[in-house]
Amino acid sequence: MAGYTCIWEFEIKPGSEAEFLRHYNNGGSWVALFLQAQGFRETLLLQDRQSPLRYLTIDRWDSVEAYGAFRRQFAALYADLDALCENLTLTENCIGEFGDSL
């Protein structure tokens, strides 16, 4: 079974750094939600050294199927958390979805 990784890019609003980190860091709200699902591996949060309001999240799952099952099972909680965090960012872009190399 091939692993699945989704990478997101965020530009956060000035002044919202602490709240953003509360939700997106490795012990934050998103990881707490992901940990309820089977097949979640880890989330990495990276801050751009040149542009400190720019972050990447790297979410790793056992498989695209595990991620899909999570999204179906936790759709309402995901939507609620996404709405809660929406005001923290200026932009949010999915950079891509990737599989483990063979």
Residue 72 lies in a domain: yes
Tell me which residue range forms the domain holding 35: 4-97
Question: Domain of 9: which CATH number?
Answer: 3.30.70.100
pLDDT tens, residue by residue, 18-38: 999 999 998 999 999 999 999
**Domain count of the fold of the chain:** 1
> What distance lies between CA 59 and its chain's CA centroid?
6
In a domain, 81, yes or no: yes
Those residues whose C-beta lies under 8 Å from the C-beta of residue 30, and which sit 6 or more positions away, are: 23, 24, 43, 57, 81
- The verdict on pTM exceeding 0.85 is yes
Tell me, yes or no, whether 33 lies in a domain: yes
102 within some domain = no
Q: Are 43 and 59 in contact (CB under 8 A)?
A: yes
Q: What is the pLDDT of residues 45-92, one digit of tens each?
A: 999 999 999 999 999 999 999 999 999 999 999 999 999 999 999 999
Residue 49 lies in a domain: yes
User: Does residue 70 form part of some domain?
Assistant: yes
Q: Is residue 40 part of a domain?
A: yes
